[in-house]
Amino acid sequence: MYLGIDVGTQSVKALIYDAQSREVAAVASAPLRLISEADGTREQEAQWWLDALGACLQEFDPGLRAQVQAVGVSAQQHGFVPLGADGEVLAPVKLWCDTATTVECAEITAALGGEEACIAQMGNPVLPGYTAAKILWLKKHHPESYAKLTTILLPHDYINYSLTGELAMEYGDASGTGLMNVRERRWHDAALRAIDDQRDLGDALPVLLDAGEQMGCLRPASAATLGLPPGIPVATGGGDNMMAAIGTGNVSPGRLTVSLGTSGTLFAFSSEPLIDPAGNIAAFCSSTGGWLPLLCTMNCTVATEVSRQLFGLSLDALQAATESVPPGAGGVLTLPFFNGERTPNLPNAKACILGLDEGNYHRDNLLRSAMESAVYGLRAGLDGLADLGLPVSSVRLTGGGAQSAAWRQMVADVFQLPVTVQAVDEGAALGAALQALWMHAGDCAGSLPALLDAHLAVDEARSCEPRADVAALYEEYYANYLRHVAVIGTLYP
């Protein structure tokens, strides 16, 4: 039995994976609150994560928990957990979706010579969602807390610390901080100095661990709280996208994962750094020894959720509504920037509904348009990967939206690629459990791709192919979406 933990934005999920039967033996989740302010602030208290994790574990049978042999942890990327000398958390955790640090992001970018210089030096631009700007924000707005800062952690690092007492990062999650040269897999001194030229912030960054290493062992106190065997190994873990790559078998070239969650992500595996000169495709490291070129949009299922709630519909009613109108939603076009947007980089953008007339202004068109626009934003990532010379032949779909037949078929049609879904689709939490299995098995496991092929089966009944006639229509609608984004972007600098 292997425990996988995923600390998301909306909830904490935990699952126990039975490696012998190759099934999830138990799964539980607990909701999380979100501190949300009009200035773009999106924060959580780190203690909320630990409380939710404890609630999840309490749902599992004690006998099952006693059989767990190793633990893997996934969590939302980019969040900043500032620790003091005694391990205390010094401030609420600014999350990946926090856009209150736009000014600090611009200051760091300017100090490094501009966006093109950032990409040339580190492989990535410095974006508002990344950790770097959050550190500078703390320094400017809460200098008394910053003065006490001794350790910079990411959310999954903090969970690892709470479990083991060890301070460490791994290359995948660390590459999303805006502080790392991803080509050389090392911290970028100039980025650290751009935040603070009076101290060496490198001293606050913990040791970096390679893929497959053991992070530490479960402390007796944590074991007692969670009802787990003390001393069991804890894997390095990683960011949710890196763990979702493991959980969808995306650890070798040619595969593409699309995650339909609150945010939308699209990523593939590369055996070498893949740098996008435009900065739209993030040049992250993977948590398996390679690289993970990735596009992230901040508005995916959030677009359909706010629309569904507006009309008071159930999920089944939402699907029925979107399937009741043809592709293109009668000419209604949504730009779904409800949380600002990361790709394209429009942190101040607002959502817009365009193309309305007397004939198409009705509920079902609005609902379908919200779903289509989320998929268009991800399709831009597919085009970006192709421009960088990384071809893909199929899409592995994961996340909450993957459970919907309407979402699955729409992705196939817009992407013009076959879509597959796994029989066991628990995304990042499953990836964390499988990483723990890989770490625990050691050399006996063989290569990671072979291990994942043995444990991840496709649900053929939920797979789908693109429809040629519909795909042709979506080429026109997608081009129209891109034209509107280019114009709207000028209104929200």
2-241 and 249-421+463-493, same CATH topology: yes
Considering the four listed CATH numbers 3.40.50.300, 3.40.190.80, 3.40.640.10, 3.30.420.40, the one that applies to the domain covering 249-421+463-493 is 3.30.420.40
- pLDDT digit string (tens) for 160-190? 999 999 999 999 999 999 999 999 999 999 9
What pLDDT band is residue 23 in, cutting at 50, 70 and 90? very high
Active-site annotation holds for 240: yes
Closest to 342 measured CA to CA, from 175, 124, 185: 124
What per-residue confidence (pLDDT) applies to 190?
A: 98
Say which range, 46-60, 131-145, 312-326, 441-455, has the weakest mean pLDDT.
Answer: 441-455
3-state SS assignment for residue 208: strand
62-99 pLDDT, tens digit per residue, is 999 999 999 999 999 999 999 999 999 999 999 998 98
pLDDT of residue 345: 83
Residue 106 predicted with pLDDT over 70: yes
Is residue 348 pLDDT above 60, yes or no?
yes
Q: Average of pLDDT values for 105-109?
A: 97
End-to-end CA distance of the chain: 50
Cβ(67)–Cβ(1) under 8 Å? yes
Number of Cβ atoms within 10 Å of the Cβ of 200: 12
Residue 488: both structure tokens together: 């709207």
- Give the model's pLDDT for residue 262: 81
Q: Is 197 exposed, middle or buried (0-12, 13-18, 19+ CB in 10 A)?
A: exposed
Mean pLDDT of the chain: 95
Question: What residues are paired with 80 via a beta bridge?
Answer: 94
Residue 323 has pLDDT above 90, yes or no: yes
**Residue-wise pLDDT tens digits, 177-232:** 999 999 999 999 999 999 999 999 999 999 999 988 999 999 999 999 999 999 99
pLDDT at 116: 96
Q: What kind of architecture, by CATH, is found in domain 2-241? A: 2-Layer Sandwich (3.30)
pLDDT of residue 282: 94
Residue 7: strand pairing partners = 12, 75
CB-CB contact of 148 with 217 (8 Å) = no
Two structure tokens written together for 483: 């034209």
Per residue in 258-278, pLDDT tens? 999 888 999 999 999 999 999
pLDDT at 244 over 80: yes
pLDDT classification of 130: cutoffs 50, 70, 90: very high
Residue of 240, 364, 413, 425 marked active site: 240
pLDDT bucket at 51, cuts 50 / 70 / 90: very high
For residues 378 and 294, the answer to whether their CB atoms sit within 8 Å is no
Reported as a single tens digit per residue, the pLDDT across 426-479 is: 889 999 999 999 999 886 555 899 999 999 999 999 999 999 999 999 999 999
pLDDT score recorded for residue 424: 87
pLDDT at 400: 86
Write down the pTM of the prediction: 0.89
- Domain edges within the chain: 2-241, 249-421+463-493
Mean pLDDT of all residues in 371-381: 95
